[in-house]
Amino acid sequence: MSTNLAFRRQTAPKPTKQQPKIVSMGKEQAARIQTSILNAAEKKALTWLAKRQPVWMTSDILTYIGVAGALICAVGFALSSININFLWLSSFGLVVNWYGDSLDGTLARVRGTQRPTYGFFIDHTIDALTITAMCVGAGLSPMLRLEVALFVLVAYLILSIYTYICTLVKEEFRLTYGKLGPTEFRLIVIIINTLFIYTPWRYHTYEIGGEQFGLFDIIGAVIAVVIFVMHLVQWFKDRKELSLKDPAKPYKPTK
């Protein structure tokens, strides 16, 4: 055994100045910023649900339920081009997506079974796929033009990337911007689905740049613009804060 230890000591790579310094970036230890309208009520509801989950239920299963909900939502959107009432299936998918996506982390915290690195990796790689599926599905529905749905997708992904960057550089995981978070946006989409089914607004069209856009296309574009504005407002705030924490250093050229 001593020979093996000696061998390991001799062959183990020695740290050099060229090797990058390994820094533990903020994930589970990052402060969770939640200021949404429904946050307080939602937190109580999720804790209540987590405490009543069967023993066999795990965070991974709930994550897969969230993915299934997103796919149901996307299929409902696509099928609404055949029958508008399939938008109810889309709304149901959003509820299922909320249940799985919101409850998986809560269940881990209630049971003390957190897996910070694994959970961070799984949740946010899957989020990118599920929001893409839902936006493409919406673009295949009669409610939104595909380019408008993809505009919303781009806005969402840009805000998501910004959130993950701040998780690393500020150790703040911002789940909400202003008073809006994922749950509020799901609720907004459900309301829009319902209005599209039951109001004559879906027949309202406007010509913009030689192209016909429906009222709901304009609503979708406004939502995307609001997301971009929230991103820029938060970016300017964080830029000012980080510039004070990490001020510019004077450059003194050597002769």
Render pLDDT for 136-149 as a digit per residue (tens, 0 to 9). Answer: 999 999 999 999 99
Question: What DSSP element (H or E) covers 174?
Answer: strand 172-174
pLDDT 10s digits, 56-112: 999 999 999 999 999 999 999 999 999 999 999 999 999 999 999 999 989 999 999
How far is Cα 76 from Cα 78, in angstroms, rounded to an integer?
5
What are 49's two structure tokens? 């649900």
* pLDDT confidence of residue 249: 85
> Who contacts 84 (Cβ-Cβ below 8 Å, separation ≥6)?
142, 196, 197
Torsion of CA 73, 199, 141, 206, to 10 degrees: -140
The whole-number pLDDT of residue 190 equals 96
Q: Choose among 99, 150, 92, 153: nearest CA to 128.
A: 153
Percent of the chain residues past pLDDT 70, beyond the cut: 86
Please give the average per-residue pLDDT across 35-46, as a whole number: 86
In this model, does residue 14 exceed pLDDT 60? no
Cα(47)–Cα(78) distance, integer angstroms:
34
Among 19-28, 59-68, 196-205, 207-216, which is the least confidently predicted range?
A: 19-28
At residue 114, what are phi and psi to the nearest 5 degrees? -60, 145
Query: 3-class DSSP state for residue 22?
Result: coil
Q: For residues 177 and 17, what is the distance between their CA atoms, to the nearest angstrom?
A: 40
User: Hey, what are 107's tokens?
Assistant: 């269940």
Contacts made by residues 30-33, CB under 8 angstroms, sequence distance 24+: 30/167, 30/170, 30/171, 30/172, 30/173, 31/171, 31/172, 31/173, 32/173, 32/175, 33/172, 33/173, 33/174, 33/175, 33/176
Distance of alpha carbon 196 from alpha carbon 193, whole angstroms: 5
Domains with residue ranges and CATH for the chain: 32-241 (1.20.120.1760)
| Phi, psi dihedral angles at 96 (to 5 degrees) | -65, -40
Average pLDDT, the chain: 85
Show the tokens assigned to 93.
């998918």
* Helix axis angle, 59-79 to 116-139, nearest 10°: 10
